Amino acid sequence: MKIKSITTLPFKASLKTPFITSLRRVDSLEDIIVCIECDNGLKGYGECAPTVAITGESEASIFSSIGVISNALIGKDLDKNFSGIIQIVHDSIQGNTSAKSAIEIALYDLISKQNKMPLFVYLGGFKKEFETDVTISLKDSSAMLQDALKAHKEGFHTLKIKLGSSPKEDIQRVITIANALPHLKLRLDANQAWSTQESINIMQELEMQKLNIELLEQPIKANDIKGLKKIKDAIQTPLLADEAVFDIRQAQTILQSNSADLINIKLAKSGGISKALEIASECRKYGVKCMIGCMLEGPIAITAALHVASAAADVIQYIDLDAMHLIESNSLKSDIVLDGAKITLGTSFGLGVEP
């Protein structure tokens, strides 16, 4: 099964409400779908989102790096040495993790279709049902409360609360939502907006209130590992590293220095499925659990992340894959079932989603 062509097409979908964090505001989802076609007619699909604020990749840079990777892949035989072909993706260009992820997803879609199994089965997983949290975008506390009440009505049991304006306002946001919905679990994500001392002060104040806070995600700048360690040692709430961990070396730094309780894996940060599974394996050695998260990506990328969550279900115990729930509708063919917070993978071969 030799690679014959690699093409890209834009994927756009409107969001039910704007997605707002301390780093950015997005009003509609605009992604890139990759199609890899082989000489036997089989097609595999991948997808990624330009997320300049996090991976540094724009739409233009993604198109250009997919072109570079494609030149290295055309004519390669997937049946002969699949892991060698995955290695070519990573050797052909530095960085550009979202573009690599889109290509990897398409390659894994192809190889599992060729082996006539769903991708999660090909990867050694068996779990099919997942429950995701849902993001409550950063707004004033009364607007966030309205969004939280709506999410609760829609069947979500865990909320990802975006924070990061001022400490006083952030504390108010959390208390308002927690008091109105005390039975829901709250995941707090400040997206690098706080200082180390602010993080400690805010969390110590919230901890005194005995709220249903499950974890605190990446409160400080991505490269401040010492700060993370200081926060972890000062608070009781589990601390989750997100932007601090793109690759396995960064994961090892966090694990070896015991600077976070949990690690957030995203295909767009790791460079795809193979690297995400490597990070999960490394965390398994240290007994550290992971979240799997996403960028503002469409159904192909989200489904790929669910297959990874199935393959490493013992380690990946926190699911933050709500992007499919945030879009109005899409025209993709899919056997994935969404029911409130529940997402169930289908049994069709490959990813189970395609244009």
Binding site for Mg ion (CB under 5 A): 189, 217, 242
**238 versus 355: smaller Cβ distance to Mg ion:** 238
Length of the chain: 355
Tell me the DSSP string of 135-188: EE-S--HHHHHHHHHHHHHTT-SEEEEE--S-HHHHHHHHHHHHHHSTTSEEEE
Cβ neighbours for 168, distance < 8 A, ≥ 6 positions apart? none
Shortest Å distance, C-beta 240 to Mg ion = 8
- The DSSP letter of residue 212 is -
Shortest Å distance, C-beta 243 to Mg ion = 7
- Measured CA to CA, the distance from residue 37 to residue 311 in angstroms comes to 25
Contact 141, 172 (CB under 8 A): yes
Residue of minimal CB distance from Mg ion? 242
Shortest Å distance, C-beta 189 to Mg ion = 5
**147 versus 189: smaller Cβ distance to Mg ion:** 189
**43 versus 266: smaller Cβ distance to Mg ion:** 266
Distance spanning both ends of the chain, measured CA to CA: 21
Shortest Å distance, C-beta 264 to Mg ion = 6
Q: Which of 43, 113, 232, 266 is catalytic?
A: 266
Sheet holding 337-339, edge to edge: 129-131, 342-344, 337-339
In angstroms, how far is CA 168 from the centroid of its own chain?
29
Q: Is 160 labeled as catalytic in the residue annotation?
A: no
Q: Which of 162, 269, 275, 289 is catalytic?
A: 162
Which residues is 319 bridged to in the sheet?
292
**189 versus 297: smaller Cβ distance to Mg ion:** 189
- Alpha helices of 181-333 — where are they, by DSSP H? 196-208, 225-234, 248-257, 267-270, 273-286, 299-311, 323-326
Q: Is 162 labeled as catalytic in the residue annotation?
A: yes
Shortest Å distance, C-beta 350 to Mg ion = 28
**198 versus 335: smaller Cβ distance to Mg ion:** 198
Catalytic residues: 162, 266
